[in-house]
Amino acid sequence: MTLVLKVSKKNGERARRTLINKGYFDNEHKPDSEKNCIYFPVTREFKTQLGTFEKRNLDKFKSRPSSLRELFMKVVPLNLIHDVRRSYDLIGDIAVIEIPDSLKKYEKVIAASLLKTNSKIKVVAKKPKRIEGEYRIRKVKILAGERRTTTEYRESDCLFRFDLNKTYFSQRLGNERLRLAKKVKGSEKILVMFSGVAPFGIVIAKKHPFAKVWNIELNPDAAKYAAKNIELNHLGSRVFSIKGDVKKEIPKLKEKFDRIIMVLPFHNEKFLKSA
């Protein structure tokens, strides 16, 4: 039997918010309802005119909620539950979740409950609305867990280290990296323009032991992480990180390339001449 607060349905939302705010909501049991009443599981009795306390048999929440909405039902008012996004991105050990403005007030409790669901998550961060500037950075805001934005991410037998708030990285391009890697033949020489932390070059080089890859990146932090990632993946003898503007750096290269990859979402045409 569980201690419950029995309230009329018209007082349901008020009671729910009161319990969440006071921290008396018993998160382990599911609320129940019958005719005009709702039974909220509570951790203790307290003075209230919202309803009365009694004992009742309530179902337990499954240990792993089947969806983010089910998880956040405990911390977000029911009328806003449909604003909760259905998924989040897990980049290394950082969970990046989109939180719409309607849920801003609840972002910290949402993040705290997400942090508890998966031991692989060490940081929960809020996805920004925009990608910023020439370096295409998506600056996240930490909401729960460790105070850091650096992480390590594994993909296609490669390891990448980077800082979400200083470099561009998209794990959603993983399939595109593999698609391009499959097109490469044997000992090609490849130039990657706008190479970020070098995920394209590294995935390709890992799959093709005789290929050589030159990466050019303007953002000094990204070029620094690219050099680190080349080292982490033991590719230093045939994958290179060049810091600078492709327009200035390409003419300095004395190589002829079999393949050139440009990973810039727009204004690619401005750089075709350099390629």
- For binding to ligand SAM (CB under 6 A), which residues are involved? 134-136, 168-170, 173, 194-196, 199-200, 216-219, 222, 245-246, 263-265
Nearer to ligand SAM, 135 or 257 (CB): 135
CA torsion 91→95→101→107, rounded to 10°?
-160
> Least distance from C-beta 152 to ligand SAM, angstroms?
15
Q: Which of 206, 248, 244, 205 is nearest to 222 (CA)?
A: 244
Nearer to ligand SAM, 204 or 222 (CB): 222
- Which amino acid is present at 67? S
Nearer to ligand SAM, 78 or 264 (CB): 264
> Least distance from C-beta 203 to ligand SAM, angstroms?
10
Nearer to ligand SAM, 103 or 216 (CB): 216
Tokens of 113: 């409950």
Element (H, E) at 112: helix 107-117
CB 49 within 8 A of CB 25: no
Nearest residue to ligand SAM, scored by beta-carbon proximity: 196
> Least distance from C-beta 195 to ligand SAM, angstroms?
5
Coil, strand or helix: which one is 93? coil
Nearer to ligand SAM, 114 or 226 (CB): 226
> Least distance from C-beta 60 to ligand SAM, angstroms?
43
**How far is the C-alpha of 71 from the C-alpha of 66, rounded, in Å?**
8
> Least distance from C-beta 4 to ligand SAM, angstroms?
51
**How far is the C-alpha of 169 from the C-alpha of 198, rounded, in Å?**
9
